[in-house]
Structure 1
Amino acid sequence: MLKIALLIKGNLGHLQHIRRDVECLRQALPQAQITALESREAGSIVDLANRACEGSDYLIAVGGDGTLHEVLNGVLQHGLARRALPALGLLARGTANDYARTVGLRGDTAELIGLLKSGDCRYVDAGRIRYRGAGDQRDIRYFLNSADIGIGAAVVSSMQAMPLVIGRPLRYPISIARTFLTFRGKELTVRSDQGLCWRGRSLAVVAANGRYFGSGLCIAPHARIDDGQLSVTLVADASTADFLRHLGALRRSEFIRHHAVSYHRARRLEIEHHGDPAQIEADGEHLGTTPVTVDILPGAIKLLCPPTRKA
């Protein structure tokens, strides 16, 4: 009997719709044991996923990139051998769903039912980031999509600081506008295991596994989720106006042709600040500040996804 655990972010505004999705899954997969686990507070999906690891064949994140991020961290913090870990799946109910976009997942109920029936999976990479957390402690997180040091993290921080009375669809564009008006690049040193050694003022350094961030912006057109490497996009001392002028290229999944933008590959990346520290986010979740070390964990996760997509 298949054992499937659904990890649901309890603060989603459409829980009734999600509960109907759960019933559809139970009707379509009558021989499966399906358990729905709803989080009650921020970050609790990590613990729910950790406890659900043993005895589950599939852990399905019901939400967006942030929910998938929490499920991933619960799984990789468990300590099971890779082959013993449950496969991860996604029922996309978030705002951005950038990782689903990279993988080629629609993220709807019918697609999920089909994938669970076929069992189509592939092993994909995960990123690991070591950073300065609360109280100057060195913390570790894992990510599937991307980690951003700079302006993207400042946007996430601004959004999370907004009062809940401002709905999530409005918080994101307001945060972008506010951050782009006030953000100033940080003085950083960036080093990689593949020869990159750069120092200067930076708008953003993105260590990507997926291609998209920021709700459909293709920040890393060269990224693959299973090539054993981080795809690094370094945005040097460009103005936020320059960044805005290239939004069209980002949405068309084109490489940006600008003297301040460069693309790299790495298995390990080290970033230090000079002066004020830079903020960090991963998969749309604000983490902490520099200094940072990012590395890649090849084939760390078995992902429930269509087999034909070249991502």
Structure 2
Amino acid sequence: MRALLVVNPSATTTSARTRDVLVHALASDLKLEVATTEYRGHARDLARAAAESGNTELVVALGGDGTVNEVVNGLLHRGPDPEGLPRLAVVPGGSTNVFARALGLPNDAVEATGALLDALREDSGRTIGLGHAAGTPGTEDEGVPGRWFTFCAGFGFDAGVVGRVEQQRERGKRSTHSLYVRQFMRQFLGESNRRHGTITLERPGEEPLANLVLSIICNTSPWTYFGNRPIYALPKASFDTALDVLGLTRLSTLTAGHYISQLLTSSPERGPEGRHAVSLHDQDSFTLHSQAPLPFQMDGDHLGLRTSVTFTGVRRALRVIV
């Protein structure tokens, strides 16, 4: 099988020596080409070229969720075509690796490589659904290019936290869970619209849901991890359905403490609930509007400010090796 291995050399949990071992192991079973990313967006460009070449059967992403997201967007540059596109495989190399872990892969890169080789020998895989987000027609964000996401997106508060973390990483800070906690607190203390949300959710044939302070969109569950603890913001979210949405209409100190406690004790059976929480399951299409520009993130990648984003859940979008 002809395969392309896309390596992020800045992956936080894999050393150069570990990467060499993984490359050697994969090359023993595959006709392997190795490409190392050199700039933001390079993984997307490499995956797109592989998909357009017509002779690559598998693209392996070695890195964190950001690398995986870029590879997915490169593969799906012209839209989903599960039978006509290379399959995707993931070897986790980031600090959290939500997508890989949601697929049931080990969080250790060496163990995940072994599981990948076993899956290839057994021709084991599945076709998963993905989320897509784009600027809304008729708004100032109309021209924003569409982009795919694998496990989550956020519009508002959580995206602001992601943006703060990225700023710290650009200053040389390591991506750790304590860094996220610190930036969460700074975002919370600096947020001026915690009591009066500016987000409205619109979906075909339904009454709008207004005054949301934050909105989390999930394509699978768990939403993220706190250390090794999975966090289930939307327990019913699945790669086999469309998108799930969690919105909060209030984020005072009291309600924030309540919902954080629920998140930390969440399970596959139960996520956050209460009179300030709105949960929607298996949504094919919806739009989030804001009265003022808000931060926007996809798969942990901060994408700047938006006033309106249209989301689509696409079932059976991509084949993955698991």
TM bracket (short chain): 0.7 to 0.9
The match for 2:238 among 224, 231, 255 is 224
Deviation (angstroms), 1:103: 2.2
TM-score, length basis structure 2: 0.85
Cα 1:111/1:262, change in 2 over 3 Å: same
* 2:319 is the alignment partner of 1:302: yes
CA distance in 2, matches of 1:294, 1:174: 30
Whichever residue aligns with residue 6 of structure 1, its letter is: L
What TM-score does the superposition give when structure 1 sets the normalisation length?
0.88
Q: Following superposition of structure 1 onto structure 2, how do residues 1-311 of structure 1 map, counting pairs within 5 Å?
A: 2-13=1-12, 14-27=15-28, 29=29, 32-53=30-51, 54-78=54-78, 81-107=81-107, 108-131=112-135, 137-162=143-168, 163-169=170-176, 171-183=179-191, 184-185=193-194, 186-193=197-204, 195-200=206-211, 202-215=212-225, 216-227=230-241, 229-239=242-252, 241-251=254-264, 252-253=266-267, 254-265=270-281, 266-274=283-291, 276-288=292-304, 289-305=306-322
SS at match of 1:225: coil
Structure 2: gaps (5+ residues) = none
Q: How many angstroms does 1:86 deviate by?
A: 0.9
1:107-155 CA distances to partner (integer Å, 9 max, x unpaired)?
Answer: 52211111121121111111110138xx964221111111111111101
Change over 3 Å in CA distance of 1:24–1:244 after alignment to 2: farther
SS of aligned partner of 2:131: strand
Distance, in Å, in 2 between the alignment partners of 1:217 and 1:148 is: 15
SS at match of 1:113: helix
RMSD: 2.1
Q: How far, CA to CA, are the matches of 2:237 and 2:57 in structure 1?
A: 28
Bigger mean CA offset, 154-163 vs 182-191: 182-191
Percent identical residues: 23
Specify every segment of 5 or more residues in structure 1 that has no aligned partner in the other structure, as ranges: 306-311
Q: Which amino acid aligns with 2:219?
A: N
